Structure 1
């Protein structure tokens, strides 16, 4: 079966075509499986999940010079190679090395299965399951769907039963058809008019000091810095958010934009903010690439006090969400955004708040206890600088900074993190 790509998929297809060895859009997650593992049941469960979602069976060959979405038939088993490291004293380190090798392996979008699984045995009662996907077929919401369904499938398979999961309410092809319908007619023109005005004269490159000059040959090499927000500050921020009648997303984004404005001495930095893109209820349990990027621009160059800054950011966010129907790639194309060598179009800085509720104990899959494995490290970044806030509990927030190593030193990332933490504390005490 052959279908059409969404605009966001088309962009990733062309990027991979330009650099077939690129791995920035590989998505890799790992899970610890503790207990007596039924490997055959896990293999059947992975294949069953793949059968449920067309996106996981899709490849993207070129037809007459343009990409097409080709869906493989159901029933093809998903390979699950097993690497046995049991008995080795450095099994954990070797598992991390294997994960790094897997995530650094590029996908051939035209031929490769774009959903890969690997099993690593650390000892007879402890395994690591690696799932590696290309972003063109799945976003992080999709990864949560896969994990939940895999647990249900495995529990049933290990007991010799049918899982009985209902089929997803929609296929990804239904989303692409719906999106094409949304992008036809006057609604698209109105949304483009909003973005054209909002992004008028936006700088192609942010006025942020870097440790090295930007090169026309952009490198995706990146590093991460994870720093916890003090519990008392996290608690104070939630109180302030309530007093200002805003979400934690708006409050922490405001702090980020204030920091950028103070460092760049301009208020025009465009920040990439991802949105889920699952506008209809039937898309909630569908695996696919739904995420869209909103290029948010708020002028805080006059360094307003936090309350006034929050009001500007809240207004800008609400307006942007009202016009989020335009895929970022179509927006760049229709607005004629100039291209600068070594830069992404329009946005070089990103922000995201991720609710990551901590599980009460580990998830149970029949005889297994399953939890996240922290051994996956991707070490690539799609933007110059990204800030991800991991919101785990009322008093547990962490800042995860991702930065391009050809632009920023580790010491600079540490200073950015310290400045942001100080600003959060200032807002929390305000």
Structure 2
């Protein structure tokens, strides 16, 4: 292997954050100074009081819901051995003295804006909860509950402290350590710093050396926040924003992930998780594939996730949020604070795309994002102005995170061994988060975090299995199309049947209705006010209209608008459009005339179904044929099922939502996605 190839392999093993830091260092100090102001301690008190852009968003979210635990960064550990609690307290107090972020509180300034206040001194209380007097059989359970209480207690950003540490003693040789920080002063990298420095301090104190003499920090977080504002205001914001505008475009679609239960308008869910270990052979095969393709594990695992989201939603425009450490300056490497930034990585995925092509796109997108990682997510949201909703986050609705290693320093605590201690439920930040964790031995596990009120555990377990199948295909057959990878259910059968053209295992929705009409023809299928229809009646009514639509030119990929009041006729019309092979476009008759006209034109309707009382509102573009369903004589049309051939990627419907630009935006949903959504209900 050449030196160049060896360097490429070594670079591929770095995390995205490490690659960005390497790239920054390779540029050299002179190149950096041309674009960036120096990052040095600030002596301007007003400058240091201003929040970073990321902190401003956290302040807003906390004011919105002060009791939320969604942005708690928490770790629980069971420690076996002789723990020196006094040394532990001294170690953490040394950390508080060293890092200003751990002594920071927040308040509203005279101008009404939030500002941060660094306290000159903070005496961190570390309580010891002693369960030694409790019956031994109850101690572990009570210790776990006490640890969860520490994690669930809300932070008060006005009063602080925003670091909480508690020790729970089960016996002289068994303790539980709980460490919780609020995200406004910390991030995942910061937790690693805190753990590493705690171990160094604890070891030095217990060995009689006193507080460890760690190197002085070149800057504190408030210095970085001031530097960030100056740099962005000097023109860097516009440079990076131009890149992200080009990447993400004007419209920002919402990912329609099929859920088992209805979404709440105001959002707010409890987090649950499902973990799956990648088989060792698969992890090794993926590592070989990354070396062959000049990619990283992050890129490959992201591509698999993008393919998974496409297969489960049928959408082709996939947006995934990805956190980046954002510590590409050496001065920030050892500072505790909220540096992490969130990027939106976009993929255009369709069923006929080769997995290798998707991987190459993920590589290109990730590298471009690394070169433009400094624009704060909050600035991007402000610039793109996506549709806002309490029910979902802006710009992306699912997140992917890739982590390497763990808190290995803890394993060197003198006289102690450790294992994790689950801290119970917390609020979900997003509907779905995939965290891929690579351990020092090369093993990989995928943790699916999800909103418990939206998804059943079985649904997420099947999704995890589908993810493994897609990764296996990436490893074994990268030239295979995304839509051709066989996904298995828990019984080992094809779960989505995309290899077969006619949905052998996942029939489209109108086929399900037809099956019920055969099996239970007299069972009630639809009740609307005083009117009710059996499956046989509904199916025949839809069939007759479907045959008329086919004769009028409807068929696969054509779009038929429906402007009708909510009644049995509207349901039959929707079913008829699906039976004709066309996609339906629901149009609310209560909407303004110009909005209806825009959606009809934008979607490219070939036909429009309505009722006599709404004909005038439905009449718009002279090129669109309008049929009033309640005036049609369909008695001469065939009553049998049309049986129009369809496949998974054919369009089922187009739904319009409020657009961020003032214009409605259409989301296209394929038969595959609609079928699996209905089957999951």
- Which runs of 5 or more structure 2 residues have no equivalent in the other structure? 1-44, 478-681
> For the residues of structure 2 that align with 1:383 and 1:290, how far apart are their CA atoms?
20
Report 1:48-127 matches (<5 A). 48-64=94-110, 65-74=112-121, 76-86=122-132, 87-127=135-175
> For the residues of structure 1 that align with 2:425 and 2:219, how far apart are their CA atoms?
31
Q: Which has the higher contact order (CA 8 A, sep 6+)?
A: 1
Corresponding residue SS for 1:226: strand
> For the residues of structure 2 that align with 1:156 and 1:358, how far apart are their CA atoms?
18
Q: Which residue of 1 aligns with 2:200?
A: 152
Deviation for aligned residue 1:202: 4.0
Report 1:181-330 matches (<5 A). 181-330=230-379
**Post-superposition CA distance 1:95-122 (Å, at most 9, x none):** 2211221111111101120001100111
**Post-superposition CA distance 1:369-397 (Å, at most 9, x none):** 24342322343220110000111145511
* 1:72–1:186 Cα change, 3 Å: closer
Deviation for aligned residue 1:398: 0.7
> For the residues of structure 2 that align with 1:358 and 1:374, how far apart are their CA atoms?
14
Which moves more between the two structures, 207-216 or 131-140?
207-216
> For the residues of structure 2 that align with 1:157 and 1:197, how far apart are their CA atoms?
54
Deviation for aligned residue 1:201: 4.3
* 1:376–1:243 Cα change, 3 Å: same
Q: Which residue of 2 aligns with 1:349?
A: 398
> For the residues of structure 1 that align with 2:431 and 2:215, how far apart are their CA atoms?
42
**Maintained 8 Å contact 1:215/1:342:** yes
Corresponding residue SS for 1:173: helix
Deviation for aligned residue 1:399: 0.8
**Maintained 8 Å contact 1:196/1:335:** yes
Q: Which residue of 2 aligns with 1:134?
A: 182
Q: Which residue of 2 aligns with 1:414?
A: 461
> For the residues of structure 2 that align with 1:343 and 1:152, how far apart are their CA atoms?
42
**Post-superposition CA distance 1:114-152 (Å, at most 9, x none):** 001100111101211111110111111111111111111
> For the residues of structure 1 that align with 2:441 and 2:84, how far apart are their CA atoms?
37
Deviation for aligned residue 1:338: 2.0
Corresponding residue SS for 2:446: strand
Q: Which residue of 2 aligns with 1:32?
A: 78
Q: What's the RMSD between the two structures over aligned residues?
A: 1.8
- Which runs of 5 or more structure 1 residues have no equivalent in the other structure? none
**Post-superposition CA distance 1:257-297 (Å, at most 9, x none):** 01111222222121000000112011000000100000111
**Maintained 8 Å contact 1:120/1:128:** yes
* 1:50–1:357 Cα change, 3 Å: closer
Deviation for aligned residue 1:357: 5.2
How many residues are paired up?
427
> For the residues of structure 2 that align with 1:61 and 1:370, how far apart are their CA atoms?
41
Q: Which residue of 2 aligns with 1:19?
A: 65
Corresponding residue SS for 1:225: strand
> For the residues of structure 2 that align with 1:44 and 1:131, how far apart are their CA atoms?
15
Deviation for aligned residue 1:161: 2.0
The two structures have a TM-score, normalised by structure 1, of 0.95
The two structures have a TM-score, normalised by structure 2, of 0.61
**Maintained 8 Å contact 2:321/2:399:** yes
**Maintained 8 Å contact 2:104/2:160:** no
**Maintained 8 Å contact 1:182/1:325:** no
**Maintained 8 Å contact 2:431/2:451:** yes
Hey, which bits of structure 1, 4+ residues long, moved more than 4 A? 357-360
Deviation for aligned residue 1:217: 1.7
Give the alignment partner of residue 398 of structure 1, picking from 408, 427, 445.
Answer: 445
> For the residues of structure 2 that align with 1:11 and 1:251, how far apart are their CA atoms?
31
**Post-superposition CA distance 1:50-102 (Å, at most 9, x none):** 1000000001111232111011113x321111111235312222222112211
Corresponding residue SS for 2:233: coil
Which moves more between the two structures, 384-393 or 285-294?
384-393
* 1:183–1:303 Cα change, 3 Å: farther
* 1:77–1:137 Cα change, 3 Å: same
Corresponding residue SS for 2:416: strand
* 1:358–1:41 Cα change, 3 Å: closer
Deviation for aligned residue 1:412: 1.1
> For the residues of structure 2 that align with 1:191 and 1:375, how far apart are their CA atoms?
40
**Maintained 8 Å contact 1:354/1:388:** yes
Q: Which residue of 2 aligns with 1:377?
A: 424
Deviation for aligned residue 1:181: 2.1
When Rg is computed on C-alpha atoms for both structures, the one with the higher figure is 2
Deviation for aligned residue 1:185: 3.1
* 1:125–1:206 Cα change, 3 Å: same
> For the residues of structure 2 that align with 1:301 and 1:201, how far apart are their CA atoms?
20
Between structures 1 and 2, the one with greater helix share: 2
Corresponding residue SS for 1:363: helix
Give the alignment partner of residue 46 of structure 1, picking from 92, 95, 106.
Answer: 92
**Post-superposition CA distance 1:223-259 (Å, at most 9, x none):** 1001111111111111111111100000110011011
